Amino acid sequence: MGSSDVKAEAARRRTFAIISHPDAGKTTLTEKFLLYGGALSSGAGAVKAREGRRSATSDWMEMEQQRGISITSAALQFEYRDCIINLLDTPGHRDFSEDTYRVLAAADAAVMVLDAGKGIEPQTLKLFEVCREREIPFMTFINKWDRPGKGALELLDEIEQTLIVEPTPVTWPVGLAGEFKGIIDRKTGDYIRFERTARGSTIAPEEIVSAEQAAKDEGEAWENASEEAELLEMLERNPDIKTFLACESTPVFFGSAMTNFGVRALLDGVVDLVPAPAPKVLKDGSRRAVDADFSGLVFKVQAGMDKSHRDRIAFVRVCSGKFERGLIATAGGSGRQFSTKYAQTLFGQDRETVDTAFPGDILGLVNANDVRVGDAIYTGEPAQFPDLPAFAPEHFMVARVKDTSKFKQFRKGIAQLDEEGAVQVLRLPDIGDQAPVLAAVGQLQFEVAVNRLENEFGAPVELTSTRYSIARKTDAESAPELRAMQGVDVLMRANGLHLALFESKYWMDRVLADHPELTLERMVAEGGLS
Ligand code: G4P
């Protein structure tokens, strides 16, 4: 296969992630995408049903089952129109973790799902901040229009005011939230009327209706919607690919994932707007062409998923070239070579061997022991990707080994978890490894750490809570003054990063106000966009 074929294959890939606050409808929308992509024959419920089918063969799965969450990251692949869609799963978003953020490093765009009744919620904001930091363009799907909620213009306002991004509706709803009748396709001016099917288990029939007919049939709902659509026209709130790619505007779609209303328009938007894989920027600022030698970014490492096999899966987003199973790749971090004989695609717990993959596709490489999150793997010309940012931890616990004779194992385990990015490990310079502070974005990361330290490294630990609740990046110069203050501490990561920990945001704000000379930088996804 020549380079033009690789280019052609890359051009038809669309790789994106859905981001949302819990309960906004991410799972439902994912199911409906599969339904419209023809990958789900039995209708809705398959994504959730899969969770129920899991067998309890490992602690991971037990944890997953008990909590009803998905720890295993995966990408769903399906065809739609002439494109291959890779929908990245942002795992465990009920129990938020750093993985959720890192998955975005593998995406070319995101779909932000909002609940029409709630608008922008705290986790939406944090995920949005990661998108902005990583320059990932995002579309907005305003979900649950089938039930009473905020006004459409009010929601646009909220997006604009909170995110400082211009919302540009691609579709406009006919009928207030709760009285959803259909959408206006703003490009063609068509009115698309929907028909409900039983709990949205099949594709919602759509009917294109003329303006005259719509006025007759829908009365006031149509009148209001077309007036609002005119207003948007006057304000020039029109989708624009250039500002979308620059994260300055977000194309907005209205719908109801549950009843399938507006799902097709959104999927069409994915094909039309999500950029195909582009040459990836490397650490030295150069770019690697999509048809260059194979390279991929490791965006997640999942170890200890199966206790009996000790397997370790590296999730890789293909960035350039053609991947062929069995090729010998170099792991960027260690420089060691390894065979990719066990390459898989994953859908929840279902694994399938993958033989070839192209830019934009996601692979799970089993037993890729030398790779770490953020590493490049490649053949031919070496590749190194820019570092992943440090995400703002929000939970802090002190870890101590229960049995001091296991201290060596504990130390090794802690170091490994830190390197993998499973948790952030912070140390006080004088206490060191005796009682490190584990810092996490989500509580689930602690459970995973405790479980792995005990089962994989043979070092049961005890966690005790701390008084810290927020962290900022600082440096060696500011550290002594901060350490001397009440309610503040400065700890270090193995990579030399200094973190100032505060008891409360209120206290941190006071220190910021009273000591502008100190270095206290926000970390990505601190939330609040201050
Ligand atoms: P999440 O993955 O973002 O957490 O959300 P999920 O899809 O699980 O949806 C959360 C709840 O919202 C579910 O209800 C789901 O059915 C409902 N929902 C999703 N989309 C829509 C929509 O367009 N309209 C309405 N009215 N509801 C929607 P649940 O009661 O928690 O679960 P279930 O019993 O319905 O499965």
End-of-domain residue from the set 378, 408, 438: 378
Strand-pairing partners, residue 114, are 142
C-alpha of 387 from chain center: 17
Residues 122 and 165 in one domain: yes
245 domain residue, yes or no: yes
Residue ranges making up the domain that contains 503:
395-514
Candidates 453, 375, 462, 455; CA nearest to 417 is: 453
| 3-class DSSP state of 214 | helix
- Measuring CA to CA, how many Å separate 482 from each of 6, 228, 493, 508? 53, 53, 17, 11
Domain end (from 273, 303, 333): 273
In a domain, 353, yes or no: yes
Q: What is the number of the ligand 1 atom nearest to the C-alpha of 147?
A: 26
Q: Are 100 and 505 in contact (CB under 8 A)?
A: no
Asked if 169 contacts 232 with a C-beta cutoff of 8 angstroms, the reply is yes
Low-confidence winner among 66-80, 201-215, 240-254 (lowest mean pLDDT): 66-80
Instruction: Give the CATH number of the domain where residue 509 resides.
Output: 3.30.70.3280
Phi and psi, residue 84, nearest 5°:
-105, 120
Rounded-to-integer distance, Cα 67 and Cα 39, Å? 26
CA dihedral defined by 356, 88, 383, 370, rounded to 10 degrees?
Answer: -80
Count of the separate structural domains present in the chain = 3
- Domain of 305, CATH number, reads 2.40.30.10
Neighbours of 169 (CB within 10 A): 26
Q: Is the pTM of this model over 0.85?
A: yes
**CB 86, CB 13: distance < 8 Å:** yes
Q: Is residue 390 part of a domain?
A: no
Cβ 123 under 6 angstroms from ligand 1: no
Do 274 and 108 contact (CB within 8 A), yes or no?
yes
118 C-beta closer than 6 A to ligand 1: no
Burial class (CB in 10 A: 0-12, 13-18, 19+), 231: exposed
Of the candidates 233, 238, 249, the residue with the CA atom closest to the CA atom of residue 112: 249
Residue 253 to residue 15: CA distance in whole angstroms: 19
Q: What is the 29 CA–ligand 1 centroid distance (Å)?
A: 9
Q: Mean pLDDT across the chain, nearest whole number?
A: 87
Tell me if 152 is assigned to some domain.
yes
Q: Are the beta carbons of 472 and 478 closer than 8 angstroms?
A: no
- As a whole number of angstroms, the distance between CA 66 and CA 60 comes to 10
Question: Is 262 found in the same domain as 302?
Answer: no
Residue 340 has pLDDT above 80, yes or no: yes
For residue 207, what is the DSSP state? E
Kindly state whether residues 251 and 222 are assigned to the same domain. yes
What is the residue with the minimal CA distance to atom 26 of ligand 1? Answer: 144
Q: Which of 23, 143, 253 to mutate to test the pocket of ligand 1 (most atoms within 8 A of CB)?
A: 23
Closest residue CA from atom 32 of ligand 1: 23
Nearest to 373 by CA among 437, 418, 407, 439: 418
Do 293 and 268 belong together in one domain? no
Indicate whether 213 and 64 sit together in one domain: yes
| Residue identifier of the C-alpha nearest atom 24 of ligand 1 | 144
Nearest to 285 by CA among 386, 392, 141: 386
The verdict on residue 385 lying in a domain is: no
Is 346 among the domain residues?
A: yes
Residues 291, 371 share a domain: yes
Ligand 1 center from residue 25 Cα (angstroms): 5
24 lines ligand 1 (CB under 6 A): yes
The contacts of residue 387 (CB under 8 Å, 6+ apart) are: 283, 374
Reported as a pLDDT band with limits 50, 70 and 90, residue 158 is: very high
Residue range 53-90, pLDDT digits in tens: 333 233 444 554 444 334 444 688 889 999 999 998 77
What secondary structure, in 3-state letters, does 403-454 show?
CHHHHHHHHHHHHHHHHHCCCEEEECCCCHHHCCEEEECCCHHHHHHHHHHH
What pLDDT is recorded for position 70?
42
Q: 286: Cβ–Cβ under 8 A, 6 or more apart, which residues?
A: none
**Ligand 1 pocket, 124 CB below 6 A?**
no
**pLDDT > 90: what percent of the chain?**
65
- Regarding the beta carbon of 92 and ligand 1, being less than 6 Å apart is answered no
**Do 372 and 355 fall within a single domain?**
yes
Considering 193-202, 227-236, 427-436, the range whose residues carry the highest mean pLDDT is 227-236
Is residue 312 located within the same domain as residue 293?
yes
Query: Rounded to the nearest 5 degrees, what angle is found at the Cα of 453, between the Cα atoms of 447 and 456?
Result: 115
260 and 293 assigned to the same domain: no
Residues 231 and 186 sit within 8 Å (Cβ to Cβ): no
The answer, yes or no, to whether residue 372 has pLDDT greater than 90, is no
Lowest mean pLDDT among 186-200, 258-272, 306-320: 306-320
Q: Is residue 22 lining ligand 1, measured as CB closer than 6 Å?
A: yes
**40 in the same domain as 116:** yes
Question: 400 phi and psi, to 5 degrees?
Answer: -135, 140
Question: Do 212 and 291 share a domain, yes or no?
Answer: no
How many CB atoms sit inside 10 A of residue 261's CB?
29
Q: Which two structure tokens, joined as six digits, stand for 408? A: 């060596």
146 in ligand 1 pocket by Cβ < 6 Å? Answer: yes
pLDDT digits (tens, 9 = 90+) for 414-445: 998 998 888 999 998 777 688 999 999 988 88
- Res. 270 pLDDT band, cuts 50 70 90: very high
Q: For a ligand 1 pocket test, name from 21, 26, 28, 124 the mutation site with the most ligand atoms within 8 angstroms of its C-beta.
A: 28
Structural domain contains residue 110: yes
Residues 453 and 364 in one domain: no
The DSSP symbol for 381 reads S
Within 10 angstroms of residue 379's Cβ, the number of other Cβ atoms is 20
Report residue 421: phi and psi, to 5°.
85, 20
- Tell me, yes or no, whether 487 lies in a domain: yes
Residue 386 tokens read as 């820019």
Check if 370 has its Cβ closer than 6 Å to any atom of ligand 1.
no
The 10s digit of each residue's pLDDT in 117-153 is: 999 998 899 899 999 999 999 999 999 999 999 999 9
Taking residues 6-26, what's their average pLDDT?
Answer: 95
- Among 347, 378, 409, where does a domain finish? 378
The CATH number of residue 98's host domain is: 3.40.50.300
